[in-house]
Structure 1
Amino acid sequence: MRRRIIGLATAVAVVTISVGVAFGAGSHEVKDVTASKGMVAAANRLAAEAGVEILKKGGNAVDAAVATGLALNVVEPNASGIGGGGFMVIRMADTGKVVALDYREEAPSEATKDMYSSEKAKADKISAYGPLAVGVPGTLAGYQMALDLYGTMTLAEVIEPAIRLAEQGVPLSPTTAGAVESHFGDLSKFTPEKDNPFLKDGLPLEAGSVVKQPKLAKAFRLIAKDGKNAFYNGPIGRSMVDNIRNQGGIMTMNDLQRYQPVLRLPSEGTYRDYRIYSMCPPSSGGITLVEILNILENFPLSDWGHNSPRTIHTMTEAFKMAFSDRGNFLGDPSFVNIPYGMLESKKYAKTLADRIDEDKAMQEVPKSDSSVDEHWSTTHVSVADVSGNIVSMTQTVNYFFGASMIDPEFGFVYNDEMDDFSSNPESVNAPEPGKRPLSSMSPTIVVDPQGRPFMALGTPGAWRIITSVAQIMTNVIDFDMTMDEAIEAPRFTCRAIGTKPDVLQLESRIPQSTLDVLKLRGHQIKVKDEFDLYFGGAQGICFDPDKSTLIGGADSRRDGDVVGY
């Protein structure tokens, strides 16, 4: 612990501004941002500023997180919004209690286990694009529950910055502009140009173009007036259902009306005496993260060196085994009997650690009956307030621009979360009415060995979320990095698909000499560009309790930003 505080103190000495920004996309320069009263780390500066605006008005971390999420719907609509869902992990300072709020999307009541199993369904990608891809959204219901239980402000108050951004217009970020261009064909297929504010004269807008979203502002004003009912039992929801059914979908108003977010106990564990709280099923993120860290706790990573061949090899083997268990056992806990005791057990993790051969990559892993396709979307927000309340929130519409459908009347993007179900009807993660698809989102809060807040962290990146969060945590705890150092450090990832390990994928900043050693140990290697969106875009906040200082980092792989005061 002593080494860790020295590292934080150094960061504070170097960065003395009280309000700052960490940004890049083109540079991995470390830009730790410090503050003493409150901080928001998000995927876009304007959204982070919206959250800090609420903090300065007296709102707490929960109020600010909701305000940030609503602003992200405007400035980063490709990744999240009221047409999607997500998870929130909350720690309230007065009690020290940590809760997990699940507002994951659900399958409509007409869903069936085999709806995506035919060769035609797979060829047409109906689980990923168009009306049959849309799950029942949970975001707005989740926000309302968070505010009701833990906030201090109303939904009408925290939505004000988002309304202003939608009406006045915002510059199109490089990431969103790239998402519009790469999904141009699917967006054009399912959303007419007149309903797509990101196209002009039949072409995608360029980065930096100012985009106004009056239809989305109209939706937000209705929500400010009537609350979540404007969506789940009002004109916003009716517009969505009508559009989906007119294009061949199965969602109904009853599906919206019966949707409820769920308050759950977080997945919990320890790593080198730091206590971890992360998202529980139906997200696989937290429980798989805990399993990975339980395995890694058996090895002296700090002695081996950061991203050394031995460290990468050992972490990769841990990833493979944890992902094998993920595929075998995890799903919606309302439908699946999950062996929590085993998966979170240090004794079980020790048996897995003992299987790792330090000289040879595993070529066969325990059988897994499901896998997850590559996704590119999702967003994360970390918030801390002056009272010590913390929110770690990850949410999504799944693919960039979700189902490639934008509501014709209210301008929000529909999710394609049904694609997170397995197409195999026999899978524990097959679609069923009211079922929530398995996720990898891993919003995480870490408490230090003395019981003090230590870190809030998360990232987008589909299944790579889990491996990225594990690496960032070990970067801080084992390798004494500051928050942004840990986020900017080169990443790698691997998983198990069925009984076979996937390719070990690494960012190009990892030296060739390391890659050569890994190849000799039997790893199949694929090198990715260092700014490839594949590895997500993490946002995190570290706490230095001795100096009452917040230290934030945001990922230059996307448009990440930190604002504090």
Structure 2
Amino acid sequence: MRKFIYLVALTAILALGATAALAQEMVVNDVYAPKGMVSSAHELASKAGVEILKKGGNAIDAAVATALALNVVEPNASGIGGGGFMVIRFAKTGEVVVLDYREVAPKSATKDMFASDQAKKEGWSKLGGKAVGVPGQALGLWTALEKYGTMSWAEVAEPAIRLAEEGFTIVEMQQGIIADNLEKLHSFNDPAKVPFLKDGLPLEAGSVLKQPGLAKAFKMIGEKGPDAFYKGPIGEAFVRAVNANGGNMTMEDLADYQIAIREPVMGTYRGYQIYSTPPASSGGTHIVELLNIMENFPVASWGHNSPKYLHYLGEAMKMIFADRAAYMADSAFVDVPLKGLTNKEYAKKLAAKIKPHKVMKEVYADDPWPFQNGNKVAMIAGTDDQHISTSHFSVADADGNIVASTNTINYFFGSGIVVPEYGIVANNQMDDFSSDPASVNAPEPGKRPLSSMSPSIVLDPSGKPFMTIGAAGAWRIITAVSQIIMNVVDFGMTMDEAIEQPRIFTYAVNGKVGPFRVEDTMNPTTIQMLRLRGHNVEVRPRSGYFGTAQGILFTDMGLDGGADSRRLGVPVGY
């Protein structure tokens, strides 16, 4: 009877709304180039990477240049006060490696440091010195360059140093981000020493932002190596600023920091090979899990963003986030069932739970352990992660080397602390730990907090480069990257066409299902049909909340770059 009522209502909606227009016209801007490409969240950073490619640098050289330039032109989102992940595929060998330079908790961390009512009320995990993890980006970029690059730090940092010294023009979106974080920047700094402020107010759109302190830091690292940060004056200034704002970090914390070189999480989707980040990122694992579930359905025949497709996709999202909350943490501290979570048979078990005309109202984690000959179960708690920060970029060079890299200081402007001598924004990555001391993702000295960052490289069924993709946007990184991959593989879209499509996001944690969030550019008829199925649809404006992605597609026409217009993304090629 329920199905009959649904079909009658569906017919009525189609009759009334078949010609309903999208809320906003989508603008697609694919950029094609024959040799090399950088797609990042800011045109000047993309140009910095291409500048290095044109000088003979490889994709790793260009990636470091791009990351440093992003620190300058997007200081709110990433930088040497934070950390990240880099996935690299080498053209000659086909080997894929992951550089994990995620922040770690300082030695002063305790499992219950954010558990008290006072800690929660005053936002210790988000604001001020207690929120700051030991940063890893400077050592991560240095290591990538030393092991896999062909140029020196001074050479690849030159475009970023030039941007920092000469300045660049702030646009309205950036002014708005500074204004949104003005109270935080005032709370932990002398406003006169914050480069993003003038007379205590946000720089106006059209004004030039110069950051000589950041340029000085980059030069110092080039001259003295990463010790300038981890054992020298930059680190001393960083620790001083953190501790002046309630933190408890030492130079020993910095000196002991180490990056990790890991094997990627690997899976397939309709024969395409996907390489992405392992723990302490949950991203790669759950992209593979989500795509494994969706592989069981003929989504191409259902139609892109059709109500049926989005219903099944939303139900699958709930299950993978329920699993994420149950099992994911730093695998150096916790046994994580990676093989089970990425197992095709386990995905079939989850796919069988989805009913065509019934919405799951409670979703608990399933048990992946039998799919990797284990029986351990670990449970952690999580909440819906609302922030939209972080920055991703993708690089491809003329030799076929590929880099996908996602970097972050967590929330926009991180902890709010800006190191006065160098203009370095200190992360608030400690917020990615659980406040529950019983959680496997509770803070511990030297532990990496759970992440959703998912820089990914995709090969076609014959093993040739097909795509590099990643996104910013907390939990929505996982769902954005997955939807973009399906847009290309299942629906034959170009890179930017796939990125610009309206997206959805939903989740479940500890049984509780979140709202079914839909961008307002989705067809209104589709939205109504989802509501008829029983989804708790929440329409949100098209924005960075749904993730901001940058990618490169390898085509017969050359490299096809796409960058998200939800941010200031621009692909640049040559």
TM-score by length of 2: 0.92
Deviation string for 1:126-166 (max 9, x for gaps)? Answer: 10011100000000111111112211111121111111100
Equivalent of 2:554, from 518, 529, 543? 543
Equivalent of 2:143, from 114, 129, 145? 145
Say if 2:241 and 2:417, in contact at 8 Å, map to a contact too. no
Q: CA deviation at 1:208?
A: 2.4
The code of the aligned residue for 1:541 comes to I
Q: CA deviation at 1:27?
A: 6.6
| Alpha-carbon distance in structure 2 between the residues aligned to 1:28 and 1:379 | 22
The 5 A counterparts of 1:223-238 are 223-238=221-236
| Match in the other structure for 1:243 | 241
Q: CA deviation at 1:176?
A: 2.5
| Alpha-carbon distance in structure 2 between the residues aligned to 1:175 and 1:90 | 31
Equivalent of 2:42, from 41, 44, 58? 44
| Match in the other structure for 2:305 | 307
Q: Given the alignment of the two structures, is residue 114 of structure 1 paired with residue 112 of structure 2, yes or no?
A: yes
Q: Given the alignment of the two structures, is residue 437 of structure 1 paired with residue 449 of structure 2, yes or no?
A: yes
Q: CA deviation at 1:356?
A: 0.4
**4+ residue segments displaced more than 2 Å:** 173-176
1:87 aligned counterpart, secondary structure: strand
Deviation string for 1:467-492 (max 9, x for gaps)? Answer: 00000000000000000000000111
| Match in the other structure for 1:563 | 572
The code of the aligned residue for 1:385 comes to D
| Alpha-carbon distance in structure 2 between the residues aligned to 1:29 and 1:512 | 19
Deviation string for 1:345-364 (max 9, x for gaps)? Answer: 00000000000011111111
| Match in the other structure for 2:470 | 458
The 5 A counterparts of 1:21-60 are 28-60=26-58
The code of the aligned residue for 1:292 comes to L
Q: CA deviation at 1:195?
A: 1.6
| Match in the other structure for 1:71 | 69
Say if 1:552 and 1:562, in contact at 8 Å, map to a contact too. yes
| Alpha-carbon distance in structure 1 between the residues aligned to 2:388 and 2:501 | 20
| Alpha-carbon distance in structure 2 between the residues aligned to 1:459 and 1:208 | 27
Q: Given the alignment of the two structures, is residue 519 of structure 1 paired with residue 528 of structure 2, yes or no?
A: no
Equivalent of 1:402, from 408, 414, 433? 414
Of 162-171 and 506-515, the range deviating more from structure 2: 506-515
Of 497-506 and 396-405, the range deviating more from structure 2: 497-506
The 5 A counterparts of 1:76-475 are 76-367=74-365, 369-372=380-383, 373-475=385-487
Q: CA deviation at 1:52?
A: 0.3
1:144 aligned counterpart, secondary structure: helix
Deviation string for 1:13-49 (max 9, x for gaps)? Answer: xxxxxxxxxxxxx973111000011000001111101
| Alpha-carbon distance in structure 1 between the residues aligned to 2:450 and 2:159 | 32
Deviation string for 1:179-217 (max 9, x for gaps)? Answer: 110011111001111221111122111222101111111
| Alpha-carbon distance in structure 2 between the residues aligned to 1:119 and 1:208 | 43
Deviation string for 1:219-240 (max 9, x for gaps)? Answer: 1111111111110011000001
Q: CA deviation at 1:512?
A: 2.1
Of 223-232 and 429-438, the range deviating more from structure 2: 223-232
Q: CA deviation at 1:497?
A: 2.0
Deviation string for 1:267-296 (max 9, x for gaps)? Answer: 100000000001111000000100000000
2:105 aligned counterpart, secondary structure: coil
| Match in the other structure for 2:512 | 500
Say if 1:81 and 1:412, in contact at 8 Å, map to a contact too. yes
Say if 2:327 and 2:380, in contact at 8 Å, map to a contact too. no
| Match in the other structure for 1:22 | none
Percent identity, aligned pairs only, is 58
Cα RMSD after superposing both structures? 1.1
Say if 1:28 and 1:556, in contact at 8 Å, map to a contact too. no
The code of the aligned residue for 1:253 comes to M
| Match in the other structure for 2:21 | none
Of 309-318 and 200-209, the range deviating more from structure 2: 200-209
Say if 2:45 and 2:70, in contact at 8 Å, map to a contact too. yes
| Alpha-carbon distance in structure 2 between the residues aligned to 1:28 and 1:112 | 47
Say if 2:192 and 2:199, in contact at 8 Å, map to a contact too. no
| Alpha-carbon distance in structure 2 between the residues aligned to 1:136 and 1:175 | 29
TM-score by length of 1: 0.94
1:325 aligned counterpart, secondary structure: helix
Say if 1:237 and 1:253, in contact at 8 Å, map to a contact too. yes
| Alpha-carbon distance in structure 1 between the residues aligned to 2:471 and 2:174 | 17
| Alpha-carbon distance in structure 2 between the residues aligned to 1:200 and 1:144 | 33
The code of the aligned residue for 2:412 comes to F
Q: Given the alignment of the two structures, is residue 488 of structure 1 paired with residue 486 of structure 2, yes or no?
A: no
Say if 1:283 and 1:441, in contact at 8 Å, map to a contact too. yes
| Alpha-carbon distance in structure 2 between the residues aligned to 1:315 and 1:349 | 13
1:159 aligned counterpart, secondary structure: helix
Q: Given the alignment of the two structures, is residue 534 of structure 1 paired with residue 545 of structure 2, yes or no?
A: yes
The code of the aligned residue for 1:48 comes to S
| Alpha-carbon distance in structure 1 between the residues aligned to 2:410 and 2:562 | 24
Say if 1:173 and 1:559, in contact at 8 Å, map to a contact too. no
The code of the aligned residue for 1:539 comes to Q
Say if 2:241 and 2:418, in contact at 8 Å, map to a contact too. no
How many residues align? The count is 537
Of 381-390 and 148-157, the range deviating more from structure 2: 148-157
Q: CA deviation at 1:247?
A: 2.2
| Alpha-carbon distance in structure 2 between the residues aligned to 1:227 and 1:480 | 45
| Alpha-carbon distance in structure 1 between the residues aligned to 2:206 and 2:276 | 36
| Alpha-carbon distance in structure 2 between the residues aligned to 1:246 and 1:181 | 24
Say if 1:174 and 1:559, in contact at 8 Å, map to a contact too. no
2:274 aligned counterpart, secondary structure: strand
Pair 478,178 (structure 1): closer, same or farther in 2 beyond 3 Å: same
| Alpha-carbon distance in structure 2 between the residues aligned to 1:40 and 1:118 | 45
Q: CA deviation at 1:369?
A: 3.3
2:425 aligned counterpart, secondary structure: coil
Q: Given the alignment of the two structures, is residue 554 of structure 1 paired with residue 566 of structure 2, yes or no?
A: no
Say if 1:27 and 1:556, in contact at 8 Å, map to a contact too. no
